[in-house]
Chains A and B, each alone.
Chain A
């Protein structure tokens, strides 16, 4: 999960990376050089969209921070306003420690061209080192980065320290990305992390029980929050483009990431709107009632068609069938003729019988199920057009 700048900087600070002494508005840190007012949003490029502003006086600060607080930047609400003393910047560098998936290692990237999107920097302008996890960060690698950045010898100590501590932040905080862009050299000859983008590993949350949940979670939809509580993976596609949800739309329930994605494609690539999806993520093992609650959560998407696609190898789909019928009896449940069920598993005939007796369309074939979903959507669209 992504952290806001101030959350990321708190982690960097904990590991000794120098960051400006900021505070969340309405608190204001001391400064002799004015302030920077920074909208706390997850999206990048906020500087270009007015999300970072300078203030020379207290009244300017007050006025601009107030205007920013509680507002929006693009599609995203401003979660908080962060105030920092303004730095006297001489140069902006780039430094990032990342989990390099393809190499299966931690990589550190550095560039003398900081302060801009790293994707815009030519490859030749970026120095990279890969860390063998059995060896760790070596001195010669830090030298390599420092030379590539053209940093003076007098900054070698500070730089080495920051690289080391950035890697420590990545590994010890179980992060996938710790990006400092820019890493600033100030007029006073200090290297300071002026911005921070940190992405944490969802799977390592259990190792950090004291760490507060990310602030950005609080604006997630009720559907996403409920999915998290139930331990399933939710995808809410309704408001991704800042557009109101379209109708008719389809809500999906699948088991396993691959099958859920493939099912999503079956519908979305036919040009039909998918409101969202749930990947069961082993929920079935937690019983019928739990699974029924997961399915009721799917109904929060308010889609017009519900498409259940489950394929198990060693498990019976009996419990899933029971859970579905249970959830369809709940208030707010969709009508049964808008539910399409494809289930495969041990003793699937029993599930088939249950589904058919329960008034739901059942098929063991994904092609048939897809065709059925698309036919229902088509009929709904026609009806809506006639009604107009």
Chain B
């Protein structure tokens, strides 16, 4: 079993005829991800990577039975595009694009939540269960099926942690990127709940960053979990007030936004916290040993 995406995923790409959409389609097909088609208004009836293109999301869902969407459309169409996905009743959508105005994100998240669609992002690198389904920008060649779950806001930091896990002989069950924006559709606790019920995940790495306070809820929930958690919070050295690339990653004037306080929150409930990203692999190995022994 995996979470969010797996062998039973049926994926559509919104904007499949664009440059980004086409690249993702070809990558998915090449690596055996269950892609079933795509949507581009006005391009219905054509094909990409040997798969059908539809004019509307509803039409595509009806024809293919799709249950997940990777949205790769241009920024100015994004709000309408996400509303269309939600309206078509798709249970999972990943919004890859970044630099979305925060008030647009608020509307999209509210609509998705109200209608029961789980939205990853905006600014999410996606979700991937290696060897089964890849709804993300991660390279299948850089993944290794295994038993460690990852939940992170950042994409690039996730690459680094995956690399760390591999150096220590571990692989991934599912990797979930929430997105680096200020307001995002899915939070840490939503994903931790899913991991907690996944018999094939032995440990979860939570990757946090400055800004906002979603990590505190994650720490609180981790305290109640059977599955061990290891946390790493980036940005401890970041200067106050600087936007570090993610719209959301700012060490603010409020104490809650500071990485050090987020680390304390995890440590206070017994979660082991890595100080540097290059410490994560060793800590995961040690924590797994401990779990085995107890």
Complex CA gap A363/B156 in Å reads 18
| A265 and B159 contacting across the interface, CB-CB below 8 Å | no
Q: How many residues of A contact B (CB 8 A)?
A: 50
Task: Name the segment of B34-42, B62-70, B101-109, B191-199 touching the other chain.
Answer: B101-109
Provide the A268-293 mask, 1 if CB < 8 A to any CB of B, else 0: 11000010010101000000000000
Nearest CB of chain B from residue A369's CB, rounded to whole Å: 10
Q: How far is the CA of A160 from the CA of B146 in the complex (A)?
A: 57
Interface residues of A in 55-104 (CB under 8 A from B): 99, 101-102, 104
Q: Are A101 and B182 in contact (CB under 8 A)?
A: yes
Chain B contact surface mostly = loop
List of A residues within 8 angstroms of B244 by Cβ: 233, 235, 257, 260-261, 264, 277, 279
- Minimum CB–CB distance from A121 to chain B (whole Å) comes to 14
Does A201 contact B277, Cβ atoms closer than 8 Å?
A: no
- Total number of A-B contacts with CB less than 8 angstroms? 172
Q: Are B110's CB and A133's CB within 8 A?
A: yes
Chain B positions within 8 Å of A104 at CB level:
105-106, 109-110, 183-185
- What is the interface of chain A mostly: helix, strand, loop, or mixed? mixed
A346→B160 CA distance, assembly (Å)? 15
Whether, in the assembled complex, A204 has its beta carbon less than 8 Å from a beta carbon of chain B, the answer is yes
Q: Is the CB of A265 within 8 A of B156?
A: no
Q: How far is the CA of A117 from the CA of B106 in the complex (A)?
A: 27
User: Given the complex of chains A and B, what is the CA–CA distance between A261 and B152 in angstroms?
Assistant: 14
Cα distance, A91 to B120, chains bound together (Å)? 45
B190 CB, min distance to chain A CBs, angstroms: 12
Give the distance in Å from the alpha carbon of A163 to the alpha carbon of B94 in the complex. Answer: 35
CA distance A267 to B235 in the complex (A): 11
Most buried by B among A132, A171, A204, A267: A204
Contacting pair A133 B106 (CB below 8 A)? yes
Residue numbers in A under 8 Å from B238 (CB-CB): 235, 261, 264-265
- Check B207–A258 contact: CB distance below 8 A: yes
Closest residue of B by beta carbon distance from A235: B242
Decide yes or no: A268 and B156 within 8 Å by CB, A102-B214, A133-B107, A174-B103 being known contacts: no
A371 to B211, CA, bound (A): 29
Let me know if B153 is at the binding interface, CB within 8 A: yes
Please give, as numbers and ranges, the residues of chain B lying within 8 Å of A105 by CB-CB distance: 106, 110
Query: A311 in the interface, Cβ–Cβ < 8 Å?
Result: yes
Q: Are B106 and A99 closer than 8 Å at their CB atoms? A: yes
Most chain B Cβ neighbours within 10 Å, of A202, A203, A344: A203
Interface hit among B7-15, B44-52, B246-254: B246-254
From B101, B157, B237, give the contact of A259 (CB < 8 A): B157
Using CB atoms, name the residue of chain A closest to B140.
Answer: A313
Give the contacting residue for A261; candidates B102, B109, B235; CB below 8 A: B235
Q: A262 in the interface, Cβ–Cβ < 8 Å?
A: yes
B156 contacts A255, CB within 8 Å? yes
The reply to whether A258 and B101 contact each other, CB–CB distance below 8 Å, is no
Question: Which residues of B (269-294) have their CB < 8 Å from a CB of A?
Answer: 275-278
B268 at the interface (CB under 8 A from A): no
B278 contacts which of A171, A259, A268, A366 (Cβ < 8 Å)?
A366
- Output the nearest chain B residue to A236 by Cβ-Cβ distance: B242
- Chain A residues within 8 Å of B183, by CB: 99, 101, 104
B212 at the interface (CB under 8 A from A): yes
Asked whether A266 is an interface residue with its Cβ less than 8 Å from the other chain, the reply is yes
Of the residues A119, A176, A265, A346, contact of B235 by C-beta under 8 Å: A265
A218 to chain B, nearest CB (A): 18
User: Pick the contact of A266 from B142, B249, B276 — CB < 8 Å?
Assistant: B276
Give the complex CA separation of A233 and B182 in angstroms.
16
Residues in B whose Cβ lies below 8 Å from that of A262:
157, 160, 234, 276-277
Q: B2 at interface (Cβ–Cβ under 8 A)?
A: no
Q: Is the CB of B242 within 8 A of A258?
A: no
Q: Which residues of A contact B249 (CB under 8 A)?
A: 257-258, 261
Q: Which of A201, A255, A281, A366 has the most CB of B within 10 A?
A: A201
Residues 332-388 of A at the B interface (beta carbon under 8 Å): 344, 346, 366-367, 370
| Most interface-central of B139, B155, B213, B244 (chain A CB within 10 A) | B244
- Complex Cα spacing A40 to B165, Å: 50
CA distance A367 to B281 in the complex (A): 12
Whether a CB of chain B sits under 8 angstroms from the CB of A237 is: yes
Cα-based distance from A132 to B211 in the complex (angstroms): 22
Interface presence of B27 (CB below 8 A): yes
Contact partners of A49 in chain B: CB under 8 A: none
CB-CB nearest 5 A-B residue pairs:
A258-B154, A256-B156, A257-B245, A258-B157, A268-B237
Residues in chain B within 8 A of chain A (CB atoms): 23, 27, 99-103, 105-107, 109-111, 114, 137-139, 142, 152-160, 163, 180, 182-185, 207, 209-214, 217, 234-240, 242-249, 253-254, 275-278
Report 28 cross-chain contacts, Cβ distance below 8 Å, ordered by A residue: A99-B103, A99-B182, A101-B182, A101-B212, A101-B248, A104-B184, A104-B185, A133-B110, A134-B111, A171-B103, A202-B247, A203-B100, A235-B244, A240-B239, A254-B156, A254-B245, A258-B153, A261-B154, A261-B235, A261-B244, A262-B157, A262-B276, A264-B235, A264-B244, A279-B244, A311-B156, A366-B160, A366-B277
Seen from chain A, the residues whose Cβ lies within 8 Å of a Cβ on chain B are: 44, 99, 101-102, 104-106, 119, 132-134, 171, 174, 176, 201-204, 207, 233, 235, 237, 240, 254-262, 264-269, 274, 277, 279, 281, 311, 313-314, 344, 346, 366-367, 370
